[in-house]
């Protein structure tokens, strides 16, 4: 639908990365309707009917009204959950939340337009075990990995690494508040001497071999284009998990080896995604080792530091440029 139609942006209210996309689309005079799922149903009203094979209707807030037939693409940028009246009974809230997901969310997925990323495929791609298998299938180098709730299996895995360090990683970002302070769980080095540990039996845990690092790379792929930047961390915490200490970073634009670029594109094709934020470790010998891919990962900090034109590539996709 090149040359006409709105880009519907579903995102949290405060999202600087999303703001970059809105600003670029405004610069291009592409009409944008931005909303958060948290506005539904109290501040966002939906009315749609099926006519023939298409849904027709409107999505409206207190500022604007969107004709659903005009939507050319959807930028699904981590919207927050629908919010309901505080006085609503817990049982009614459970039903309302489910109906919002399957009704409102289901209608949006029925619109005949492109998504970045497609929410169902993005949700499937979030599973780390699946990512690692697909990465290995397409020829990317993957660290040795164990998933277990057996403390003794963790001990055996550590021993199989010939005394090398073991890394523990959560499957999904763990963030919250502890004693009034913001807290997060990052990758951490486990002393093999501390294994077996009884807490491992409490849930699924993922352990990987430690990969020696010259530096790490955040590689952002958008609709066939690749933007890669080295991340050099200058702190002990940052060298284990760069997300734990952004202030210690320096960045440098780089080009991935051809086999890595090919593997990245094949992986996105397999996952059915037009966008992915990939993390790699580059060893002192220059080998690229795959860590993970985020279907809706942050890229603004990379663009700000390096000037890589990632926002423009995203907006090309949402605008339908070249289609």
Task: Provide the mean pLDDT of the chain.
Answer: 91
Tell me which residue has tokens 């600087």. 16
- pLDDT, tens only, 268-316: 999 999 999 999 999 999 999 999 999 999 999 999 999 999 999 999 9
Structural domain contains residue 192? yes
Q: Range of 248's domain?
A: 124-128+134-139+212-319
- pLDDT, tens only, 46-95: 999 999 899 999 999 999 999 999 999 999 998 998 999 999 999 999 99
In this predicted structure, which of 87-96, 182-191, 205-214 has the lowest mean pLDDT? 182-191
Q: 52 and 84 share a domain?
A: yes
Q: How far is CA 247 from CA 14, 184, 256, in A?
A: 21, 16, 25
The pLDDT score that the predictor gives to residue 3 is 47
- Strand pairing report for 71-77 and 65-67: unpaired
Q: CA 222: distance to chain centroid?
A: 13
Structural domain contains residue 34? yes
pTM of the model: 0.90
**In the structure, what pLDDT confidence band is assigned to residue 172 with cuts at 50, 70 and 90?**
confident
Count of structural domains, the chain: 3
What whole-number percentage of the chain has pLDDT above 70?
92
* CATH code, domain carrying 267: 3.30.470.20
Tokens of 38: 């948290």
- pLDDT, tens only, 244-268: 666 777 999 999 999 999 999 999 9
Under a CB-based contact definition with an 8 Å cutoff, are residues 25 and 314 in contact?
Answer: no
Among 192, 209, 226, give the residue marking a domain's end.
209
The pLDDT score that the predictor gives to residue 186 is 75
Structural domain contains residue 1? no
**In the structure, what pLDDT confidence band is assigned to residue 176 with cuts at 50, 70 and 90?**
low
Q: 260 and 291 share a domain?
A: yes
Q: 22 and 109 share a domain?
A: yes
Q: 174 and 112 share a domain?
A: no
* CATH code, domain carrying 96: 3.40.50
Q: Provide CB contacts within 8 A for 240, sequence distance 6+.
A: 167, 186, 187, 188, 189
Other CB atoms within 10 Å distance of the CB of residue 5: 18
């Amino acid at each position: 639908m090149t040359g006409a139609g709105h880009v519907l942006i579903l995102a949290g209210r405060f999202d600087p990365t999303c703001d970059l996309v809105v600003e670029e689309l405004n610069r291009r005079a592409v009409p944008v309707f931005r909303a958060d799922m948290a506005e539904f149903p109290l501040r966002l009203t939906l009315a749609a009917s099926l006519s023939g094979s298409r849904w027709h209707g409107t999505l409206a807030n207190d500022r604007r009204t969107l004709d659903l037939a005009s939507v050319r693409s959807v930028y699904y940028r981590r919207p927050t959950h629908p919010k309901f009246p505080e006085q609503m009974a817990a049982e009614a809230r459970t039903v309302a939340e489910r109906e919002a997901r399957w009704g409102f969310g289901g209608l949006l997925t029925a619109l005949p337009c492109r998504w970045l990323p497609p929410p169902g495929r993005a949700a499937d791609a979030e599973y780390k075990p699946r990512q690692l298998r697909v990465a290995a299938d397409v020829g990317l180098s993957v660290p040795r990995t164990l998933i277990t709730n057996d403390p003794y299996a963790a001990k055996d895995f550590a021993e199989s690494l010939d005394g090398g360090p073991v890394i523990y990683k959560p499957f999904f970002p763990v963030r919250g508040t502890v004693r009034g302070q913001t807290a997060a769980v990052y990758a951490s080095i486990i002393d093999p001497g501390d294994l077996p540990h009884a807490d491992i039996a409490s849930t699924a845990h993922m352990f990987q071999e430690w990969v020696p690092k010259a530096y790490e790379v955040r590689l952002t792929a958008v609709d066939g284009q690749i933007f890669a930047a080295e991340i050099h961390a200058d702190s002990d915490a940052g060298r284990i998990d760069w997300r734990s200490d952004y202030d210690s970073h320096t960045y440098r634009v780089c080009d991935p080896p051809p086999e890595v670029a090919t593997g990245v594109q094949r992986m996105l094709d397999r996952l059915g995604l037009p966008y992915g934020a990939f993390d790699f470790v580059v060893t002192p010998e220059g080998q690229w080792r795959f860590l993970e891919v985020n279907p809706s990962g942050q890229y603004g900090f990379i663009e700000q530091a390096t000037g890589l034109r990632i926002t423009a590539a995203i907006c090309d996709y949402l605008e339908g440029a070249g289609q």
